[in-house]
């Protein structure tokens, strides 16, 4: 009994000391891991940037795949996973958002307002139930912020206003680089902004275009703003009638949907994405890291529009 006590107390001491050493070792390990994960995430993103050319060229070389982006995405993931095991790529068509820069058009060496596209944007505001009294003022402010003439719109204001507003940080006379720049105009409330935010974007382009093969329940409002004669039934028909390989051209679209050319014209339609958002999700040490690239598919060189580390 007494000998047992001596043995137990000695063993207990060994266990306590071992436990202490284990705890300290664990702390050292955790500190080391924490510091390397962040650094590695940056390195992995840079590695992805270096491989991005390969991914975009693969897409461009197989442009037929782009008529069905879901299919293109799965093919690209199969290809990418041969090089990166823990990488997941998501593709989003950026063609189907309302590009705010289409509110101006090039005229000689400057940009002037584009009233036709202004009407489309007004339609989008109407569809989203944005306060009607704000439409004219918002559009005029957008014209004045984007155009490079010196003519103030009736409800807008030219550069002097934009540069003297202390609390605003406006960039008169150049195209928007990010859709969040609409916030600088201080016109829409948070809830109004939320309503249209998912359907607007800022791309270096002045032409309105919509990829009919990527029409869905999230972007149909943009199509409705360009073609206000279309009904929700027509939208449904276009989505349901789409073949797996996508609509090939305008006549194929009319033939398969029976929509009259009066409602839908070829002018603003495309059958492949013009701009893509590529979202890379990398898993490292049980944590996901994102890299987001917006690219144009119209050229092979310098096709990056911008990059971001989060969505």
Partner 1 sequence: MIKQGFTLIEILIALLAASIISIMSFDYLSNSVFLKERVEQNINLNNKHFNAINILRLDLMQSVPFQMKDTTGRDLNVSFIGGKDDQILKFITLNSSDTSNSYSKLRRVTYIYKDNTLSRQTTLVNKEDKILSNRLLLEDIDNLEFKYGQEPENLSNEWPNTNSAENMNAPEYILMEYTLGNNKYTQLFSTF
Query: What phi, psi does 211 have (nearest 5°)?
Result: -85, 105
- Near partner 1 in 11-40, by CB under 8 A: 13-14, 17, 20-21, 24-25, 27-28, 31-32, 35, 38-39
Judged by CB under 8 A, the stretch of 75-83, 161-169, 206-214, 222-230 that binds partner 1 is 161-169
Non-local (6+) Cβ contacts of 149 within 8 A are 110, 111, 112
54, containing H or E segment = helix 2-61
What is the closest distance, in whole angstroms, from the C-beta atom of residue 40 to partner 1 in the complex?
A: 11
Closest CA to 292 of 99, 98, 77, 92: 92
Non-local (6+) Cβ contacts of 23 within 8 A are none
What is the closest distance, in whole angstroms, from the C-beta atom of residue 51 to partner 1 in the complex?
A: 12
- Near partner 1 in 292-311, by CB under 8 A: 304, 306-310
Q: Quick one: which of 57, 62, 163, 231 contacts partner 1 (CB under 8 A)?
A: 163
**Residue 9 sits in the site that holds partner 1 (CB under 8 A):** yes
Site string for partner 1, 193-212 (x = CB under 8 A): x-------------------
Considering the complex, state which of residue 171 and residue 248 has its C-beta at the smaller distance from partner 1: 171
List, in sequence order, every residue forming a beta bridge with 279; answer none if it has no partner. 90, 292
List, in sequence order, every residue forming a beta bridge with 289; answer none if it has no partner. 282
Considering the complex, state which of residue 89 and residue 305 has its C-beta at the smaller distance from partner 1: 305
**Residue 54 sits in the site that holds partner 1 (CB under 8 A):** no
What is the closest distance, in whole angstroms, from the C-beta atom of residue 6 to partner 1 in the complex?
A: 5
Considering the complex, state which of residue 13 and residue 110 has its C-beta at the smaller distance from partner 1: 13
234/259 Cα distance (integer angstroms): 7
**Residue 151 sits in the site that holds partner 1 (CB under 8 A):** no
Non-local (6+) Cβ contacts of 41 within 8 A are 282, 284, 287, 289
Q: Quick one: which of 37, 47, 49, 75 contacts partner 1 (CB under 8 A)?
A: 49
What is the closest distance, in whole angstroms, from the C-beta atom of residue 177 to partner 1 in the complex?
A: 5
Angle between helices 250-257 and 232-241 (to 10 degrees): 110
178/184 Cα distance (integer angstroms): 11
Considering the complex, state which of residue 119 and residue 177 has its C-beta at the smaller distance from partner 1: 177
Alpha helices of 62-155 — where are they, by DSSP H? 69-81, 115-127, 132-146
What is the closest distance, in whole angstroms, from the C-beta atom of residue 175 to partner 1 in the complex?
A: 10
As to burial, measured by CB atoms within 10 angstroms (0-12 exposed, 13-18 middle, 19+ buried), residue 150 is: exposed
- Near partner 1 in 166-185, by CB under 8 A: 166-167, 169-171, 173-174, 177-178, 180-184
Write down how long the chain is.
Answer: 311
230/310 Cα distance (integer angstroms): 35
Binding residues vs partner 1 (CB under 8 A):
2-3, 5-6, 9-10, 13-14, 17, 20-21, 24-25, 27-28, 31-32, 35, 38-39, 42, 45-46, 49, 159, 163-164, 166-167, 169-171, 173-174, 177-178, 180-184, 186, 190, 193, 304, 306-310
């Amino acid at each position: 009994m007494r000998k047992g006590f001596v043995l137990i107390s000695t063993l207990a001491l060994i266990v306590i000391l071992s436990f202490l050493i284990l705890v300290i070792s664990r702390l050292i390990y955790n500190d080391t891991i924490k510091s390397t994960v962040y650094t590695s995430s940056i390195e992995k993103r840079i590695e992805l940037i270096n491989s991005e050319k390969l991914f975009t060229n693969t897409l461009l070389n197989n442009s037929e795949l782009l008529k069905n982006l879901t299919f293109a995405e799965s093919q690209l993931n199969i290809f990418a996973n041969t090089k990166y095991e823990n990488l997941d790529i998501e593709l989003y068509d950026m063609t189907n958002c309302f590009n705010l820069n289409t509110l101006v058009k090039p005229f000689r060496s400057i940009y002037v307002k584009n009233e036709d596209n202004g009407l489309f944007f007004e339609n989008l505001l109407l569809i989203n139930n944005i306060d009607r009294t704000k439409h004219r003022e918002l559009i005029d402010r957008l014209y004045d912020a984007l155009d490079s003439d010196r003519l103030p719109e009736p409800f807008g204001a030219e550069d002097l206003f934009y540069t003297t507003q202390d609390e605003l940080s406006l960039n008169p006379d150049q195209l928007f680089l990010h859709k969040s720049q609409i916030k600088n105009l201080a016109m829409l409330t948070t809830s109004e902004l939320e309503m249209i935010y998912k359907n607007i974007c800022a791309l270096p382009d002045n032409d309105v275009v919509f990829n009919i093969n990527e029409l869905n329940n999230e972007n149909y409002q943009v199509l409705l703003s360009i073609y206000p004669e279309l009904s929700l039934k027509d939208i449904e028909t276009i989505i349901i009638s789409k073949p797996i390989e996508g609509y090939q051209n305008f006549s194929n679209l009319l033939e398969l949907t029976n929509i009259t050319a009066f409602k839908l014209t070829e002018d603003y339609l495309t059958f492949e994405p013009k701009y893509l958002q590529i979202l890379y999700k990398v898993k490292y040490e049980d944590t996901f890291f994102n890299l987001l690239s917006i690219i144009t598919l119209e050229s092979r060189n310098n096709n990056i529009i911008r990059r971001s580390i989060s969505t």
